[in-house]
Amino acid sequence: MNLGRVPAPARRGRVRVAAAVIAAAGAAALLAACSSGTSVGGKNNAADPGSKYGFKTAAQSAASQITVWVDSTRLPAAQAYNKAHPNSQVKIVSYDGNANGSNSFKTKFSLFDRAGSGWPDVVFTTDNNSASWGSLDGTGDLAPVNKGLVPQSTLNGFAKGSLDVCTLNGVTYCLRNDLAQNVLWYNKKLMDQWGYQVPTTWEQYEQLADKVAQQHPGYIVGSAGDAWAPEIYMWGAECPANDVTGPKTIKVDTSDPNCVKAAKMLDSLIANKTMSTLSLFGPEFAKQQGSKVLMLPGPDWYGGSVFQGTLKTPKGQIAVAPALHWADQNPPVTGDVGGGAWWISSHSKNLKAAEDFATWVTTNNAYQADLAPGYPAYTAAAKGWLAKQQSSGYWANDIAAPILAAAGQVWSGWGSAAFSQESIWAKVVQAGMAQGKTIESLLPAWQTEIENEAKVLGYTVSK
Amino acid sequence: MTALATRESSAPTPQVPTSTSGSRRTAGSRRPRAGHFFVLPYVVLLALFGVIPVVYSIYLAFTKAGGGFAGFSNFTRSARDYRFVPAIEHVAMYVAIWLVALIVLVVLLALVVHRLVSGKAKAVVRFAYYIPGALAGASSVLLLLFVLDPTVSPVAMILRWTGNEHFTDVITPHHLPVIFAIIAFWTGAGGWILVLYGALNTIPAEVMEAAKVDGAGPVRTALNIQLPMIRKWVSYMVILSLAAGTQLFVEPELVSQASFGIVPNDYSVNQLAYQFAFTQNDFNGSAAISIDLLVVALLCAGLFVARGKLFETD
Amino acid sequence: MTVLAAPRRTSSSGSSAVTVKKATSRGFVFVLLVLFALFFLVPIVWLLLSSTKSATALNSQNPYSFGSLHDLRRNWDALWSFQDGAVKTWMKNSVLYAGLALVITLAVSVPAGYALAKMQFAGRRFLLITTLIVMLMPTASLVLPTFLEINYAHLVNTPLSVVLPYSFFPFGVYLTYIYFSTAVPADLLAAAKIDGCGELRTFWSIALPLASPVVALVGFFSFVQNWNNFFLPYVMLPGSGQYPMQVGLTQMLASTPTFNPVVGANAAVSPPELVLATLVSIAPVLVVFLLAQRYLVTGLTAGGTKE
């Protein structure tokens, strides 16, 4: 660009540039004024004990149609609702369900918040930590359900502890769709054939693994190749790596003996090759270890997704045993990997209809017991679901008892934070494992990353 | 151009009379010229979807979440984030590898394809080289999951030969800049080869003939005649590729999804800006990071605009 | 711009040395082109073959093996029945958005590039600089303000909310600008003006026909960029009935057990089906490429200027 002397017309040109920039700045300022400006730590204190539902609602209109967001798996649920309610049909919109770390729910709602409009009425997510950002202490987008919106009797019908993930300061924000409590899956045919006894504690499990390593090398007793491994092994060991104590406070201590003993167990099983480090749903696992699964501690959805789905294990081989626990645990606890939830928007103009929909899809047997792929969080529906699964004849034993028992054993000390524990584990521990490090040696790095992520999202971290 | 300008103003063109004098011959006249009408629709779109968003981002970068003036605090806060410096290192390494490979190879391939005799062969090669460019986003995640896994990959031999037995071996941190560079080249080269091919086509045939008659071989023709004549195009490519490189986003995002999180989703600076906005709800910090990237891109662009004489007309 | 060197007689070197030199350089060219063809095409070939396999075959069979027509049929049927024919809706939406934006983009960008290159008017340089700055801005930061603007105009949830931003294509304006400023000589246009053509006539009858390569290029790139755009429609459009194919693909991705293990069997998308979806989504782009390629080969025809 040749910047020589500036002749008169160019000076006028410069004035015009300045004018244009000022005009643009004015338009941008108008834009800023139009946006409601909710952003970091928006103090939208909408709690209102005087209101019917315990929070400040938008103007209600009993006839307005509600919009529900579902993922493709839950689409039949919404369609079933419409079929059963021809006079109050809901508008169904399908989206990715917040799966695969997409964060769609939060992203879209933060845009709607800024624009001041556009929120749907009910949203389904395959994860359940939305209360960490959407509660009345956060953006205020989520409607409290236990302050008058949903009858307490309905809320009591959910499995014990299942609503804890979306409860902050005593206020509950979701209706849990399904539970994913951990149990012990095993191949009964092989266990009987080799004369092994099904372990009940992690200590017994480790001893059995040593035997398997010597007598039947190549077979695996568990998998630590996915990002949810801490939700199986660490959660079940009562490791305080995710102790959410308040809306913005968390306690993290990965050097706790509980974490260390779980890490040591994993390391020794990885070393004797009975613990797989491949992702269960990746191509390599199916190809090389798919037919060599002896045991697999994991959530109740492993049955459908892993054995029937990915591995296509023949029927009559797979059975379920009660969840493993550490010998010194009293009462015994287990972990939980996932479990979806339904959220009602606090901006809804027809909360009654929203509540009706959310309650129907979570409690109704016609969907939850017969069609749902996962263990329903609503206890009555869960019994129906278990019966239906058993009647398929695929399982080698009675799967209802251990799964039902484990539903009440999920440890409450592992909370639901605004950041993803899974992505932290993948980023730090799995990446370190790939370079040959032991999990025990990675515990400090895991601690550091949890602290960093928590602080970035506004949490106060303590030990 | 002055002669042309004189002729323009003497020909009957639509003129809106204004009160200002302003010589009709000088380029800075305020009276709307025909040129203004030609660019008007574009200017409207530019204002709506270009200028206002940029100014709004600048506004966000210098204000606080609640609305007050923030000075440089958004910039310092985002720069002090624990992921910021590693992200810069990642991007620097990536750009160093990728940009050089892209420029050199794209120019080379465009020249070579242009030299082919058979028109059919040229068309086939251009098409073949372009196909990966049609893939974008979600389409590629599954592809990457399989191609980068030595147990199922079509290029398993190459992966094993470089010492990788498992998927997790392939995506170790020090491989990542190379992997992203290869992916970005794979999807991006075809389009630029097309552009440079079109550019080479604009060189008049007589010039090429004259060079041939002079006895210049392909290399001399390329270096002394073709490249200088497509200088503007090449500098345009360098500017945009530099910006695209520093704004690396798609490739690490795809590999992050394909690796189920082992490659983090805050690998690059642009990804960090995205995380700030949509995970941390910190639009101000995000805007600050975007302005950082813009400034870097502008500095490099300025350099190449000057060297490539991009803004000069005949 | 044209450089005409005086023709000189070349000295004849040993003809055999010349042919050897020619052969090695041809060999080099051939090897280079083939190597790169392999580089670009091997993953595409893998995609084609994978769409003919079942999920288990994808993991266990050789990557270069053909699956079976039966599996291809099954994947095809599964694809079109996903979510009651959502893929058909998505493809239609993509065609609508990208097609509409293509027309508007060409109508807006080509005259603008021409004016920037060939006409003098106040603010020309300012426009070029501003366009460059906007092009260099990271797009993630432009989404929120664009969303607010569209929301302000009550256009959210309509096709215009994506078509209008799509039509803003500075990359194309610059391509047109560079083309007109390097490949269309000023004398040509001056000749037209001498003949009495106004600005519009000159552009429409003289410059535009000569610009068919760049119009094809800009049209093609605009179509591809808009066809492949994910984030803008994801933000602007409310639900899957309006999504273009790119956003729909991410929804399919989120229904693939490989990436989302808890998806139920009734909604699960198998990896080969996802591969087929990918192939279906890039087919229109490749078709448009083949159409545009015909115009690309025409260079600047000489002889338009009367010397």
The predicted structure's pLDDT at residue B116: 86
What is the Cα–Cα distance from C234 to B73, expressed in whole angstroms? 31
Average pLDDT, chain A: 89
**Residues B240 and B106 occupy one common structural domain:** yes
**Residues B116 and B203 occupy one common structural domain:** yes
| Both structure tokens of B192 | 């630029």
Angle in degrees, CA A143, A409, A274, rounded to 5:
115
Count CB pairs under 8 A between chains B and C. Answer: 333
**Residue B158 falls within a domain, yes or no?**
yes
Whether B260 shows a pLDDT value over 90: the answer reads no
Which candidate, C112, C248, C97, C224, places its Cα nearest to that of C165?
C97
Residue A2 distance to chain C (closest CA, Å): 11
Whether B8 shows a pLDDT value over 50: the answer reads no
- Closest Cβ opposite residue A93 in set C56, C59, C238: C238
Angstrom CA distances, A32 to A118, B122, B274, C110, stand at 18, 52, 19, 33
- Closest Cβ opposite residue C246 in set B138, B197, B206: B138
Tally the domains of chain B: 2
Residue C20: list chain B partners with CB under 8 A: none
The reply to whether C42 touches chain B by the CB within 8 Å rule is yes
Query: In degrees rounded to 5, what are phi and psi of residue A176?
Result: -75, 135
Q: Mutation test of the interface with chain C: which of A34, A73, A125, choosing the one with the most C Cβ atoms within 10 A?
A: A73
**Residue B13 falls within a domain, yes or no?**
no
**Residues B67 and B127 occupy one common structural domain:** no
At B284-297, the pLDDT tens digits run 999 999 999 999 99
CB contact under 8 A, C83 and A72: yes
CB contact under 8 A, A102 and C250: yes
**Residue B2 falls within a domain, yes or no?**
no
Q: Mutation test of the interface with chain B: which of A433, A450, A456, choosing the one with the most B Cβ atoms within 10 A?
A: A456
Q: pLDDT over 90 for what percent of chain B? A: 50
**Residues B237 and B93 occupy one common structural domain:** yes
Burial of B243 (0-12, 13-18, 19+ CB in 10 A): buried
Give chain B's end-to-end CA distance (angstroms, integer).
7
Can you list the domains of chain A with their CATH numbers?
A: 67-179+338-377 (3.40.190.10), 182-337+400-462 (3.40.190.10)
Residue with token string 């009408």 = B37
CB contact under 8 A, A111 and C268: no
The predicted structure's pLDDT at residue B216: 81
**Residues B61 and B200 occupy one common structural domain:** no
Residue C91 distance to chain B (closest CA, Å): 14
**Residues B44 and B180 occupy one common structural domain:** no
Whether B23 shows a pLDDT value over 70: the answer reads no
Residue C141 distance to chain A (closest CA, Å): 13
CB contact under 8 A, A309 and C152: no
**Residues B44 and B164 occupy one common structural domain:** no
Residue C74 distance to chain A (closest CA, Å): 17
**Residues B215 and B148 occupy one common structural domain:** yes
| Chain C residue closest in CA terms to B231 | C182
**Residues B41 and B118 occupy one common structural domain:** no
At B207-225, the pLDDT tens digits run 888 888 888 888 888 888 8
Which candidate, C246, C248, C233, places its Cα nearest to that of C285?
C246
CB contact under 8 A, A423 and B261: yes
CATH of the domain at B111: 1.10.3720.10
Residue C82: list chain A partners with CB under 8 A: 72
Whether A293 shows a pLDDT value over 80: the answer reads yes
Q: Which amino acid is it at A268?
A: S
Cα Rg of chain A (Å, integer): 26
At A68-80, the pLDDT tens digits run 999 988 999 999 9
Average pLDDT, chain C: 86
**Residue B174 falls within a domain, yes or no?**
yes
Task: Specify the higher pLDDT residue, B166 or A20.
Answer: B166
Average pLDDT, chain B: 85
Strand, coil or helix: what is A165?
helix
The predicted structure's pLDDT at residue C301: 34
Q: Give this complex's ipTM.
A: 0.85
The predicted structure's pLDDT at residue B203: 87
Residue A108 distance to chain C (closest CA, Å): 7
- Closest Cβ opposite residue A17 in set C56, C83, C126: C126
- For residue A90, the Cα-to-chain-centroid distance in whole angstroms is 25
At C222-242, the pLDDT tens digits run 999 999 998 899 989 877 789
- Closest Cβ opposite residue A287 in set C60, C149, C260: C60
Q: Mutation test of the interface with chain A: which of B262, B263, B312, B313, choosing the one with the most A Cβ atoms within 10 A?
A: B262
Whether this prediction's pTM lies above 0.95 is answered by no
**Residues B48 and B192 occupy one common structural domain:** no
CB contact under 8 A, B283 and A133: no
The predicted structure's pLDDT at residue C13: 52
The predicted structure's pLDDT at residue A45: 52
Strand, coil or helix: what is C108?
helix
**Of the options 3.40.50.80, 3.40.50.300, 1.10.10.60, 1.10.3720.10, the CATH number for the domain spanning C83-296:** 1.10.3720.10
Whether A4 shows a pLDDT value over 70: the answer reads no
State which residues form the domain around B47. Answer: 35-71
The predicted structure's pLDDT at residue A33: 67
The predicted structure's pLDDT at residue B17: 38
The predicted structure's pLDDT at residue B137: 74
DSSP-assigned letter for residue A166: G
At C17-68, the pLDDT tens digits run 777 777 788 888 889 999 999 999 999 999 999 999 998 888 888 999 998 9
**Residue B18 falls within a domain, yes or no?**
no
The predicted structure's pLDDT at residue B25: 45
The predicted structure's pLDDT at residue A309: 86
At A185-230, the pLDDT tens digits run 999 999 999 999 999 999 999 999 999 999 999 999 999 999 999 9
At A296-330, the pLDDT tens digits run 999 999 998 899 988 889 999 999 999 999 999 98
**Residues B116 and B252 occupy one common structural domain:** yes
Whether B41 shows a pLDDT value over 50: the answer reads yes
**Residues B132 and B42 occupy one common structural domain:** no
Task: Specify the higher pLDDT residue, B307 or A53.
Answer: A53
At A251-284, the pLDDT tens digits run 999 999 999 999 999 999 999 999 999 999 888 8
Whether B62 shows a pLDDT value over 90: the answer reads yes
At A23-72, the pLDDT tens digits run 777 777 677 666 654 433 334 456 666 678 888 898 999 889 999 999 98
What is the Cα–Cα distance from C51 to C280, expressed in whole angstroms? 11
The reply to whether B304 touches chain A by the CB within 8 Å rule is no
Q: What is the dihedral of CA B9, B14, B17, B20, to 10 degrees?
A: -40
At B105-143, the pLDDT tens digits run 999 999 999 888 888 888 899 999 999 998 877 778 889
At A6-22, the pLDDT tens digits run 444 455 556 666 666 67
Q: How confident is the model at residue B66 (pLDDT cuts 50, 70, 90)?
A: confident
> Residue C22: CB partners within 8 Å, gap ≥ 6?
none
Burial of A448 (0-12, 13-18, 19+ CB in 10 A): middle
Q: pLDDT over 70 for what percent of chain B? A: 88
- Closest Cβ opposite residue B137 in set C198, C217, C249: C249
Tell me the residues of chain B between 200 and 229 that have a Cβ less than 8 Å away from chain A: none
- From B71, B95, B116, the end of a domain falls on B71
At A119-150, the pLDDT tens digits run 999 999 999 999 999 999 889 999 999 999 99
| Chain B residue closest in CA terms to A419 | B279
Q: Are C228 and C79 in contact (CB under 8 A)?
A: no
Q: Are A231 and A335 in contact (CB under 8 A)?
A: yes
Name the stretches of chain C with pLDDT < 70: 1-15, 296-307
Residue B265: list chain A partners with CB under 8 A: 101, 423
The predicted structure's pLDDT at residue C53: 93
Q: What is the 3-state secondary structure (H, E, C) of chain B?
A: CHHHHHHHHHCCCCCCCCCCCCCCCCCCCCCCCHHHHHHHHHHHHHHHHHHHHHHHHHHHHCECCCCCECCCHHHHHHHCCCCHHHHHHHHHHHHHHHHHHHHHHHHHHHHHHHHCCCHHHHHHHHHHHHHHHHCCCHHHHHHHHHHCCCCCCCCHHHHHHCCCCCHHHHCCHHHHHHHHHHHHHHHHHHHHHHHHHHHHHCCCHHHHHHHHHHCCCHHHHHHHHHHHHCHHHHHHHHHHHHHHHHCCCHHHHHHHHHCCCCCCCCCCHHHHHHHHHHCCCCHHHHHHHHHHHHHHHHHHHHHHHHHHCCCCCC
The predicted structure's pLDDT at residue B48: 94
In sequence order, what are the beta bridge partners of A187? A318
What is the Cα–Cα distance from B233 to C178, expressed in whole angstroms? 7
Residue B60: list chain A partners with CB under 8 A: 32
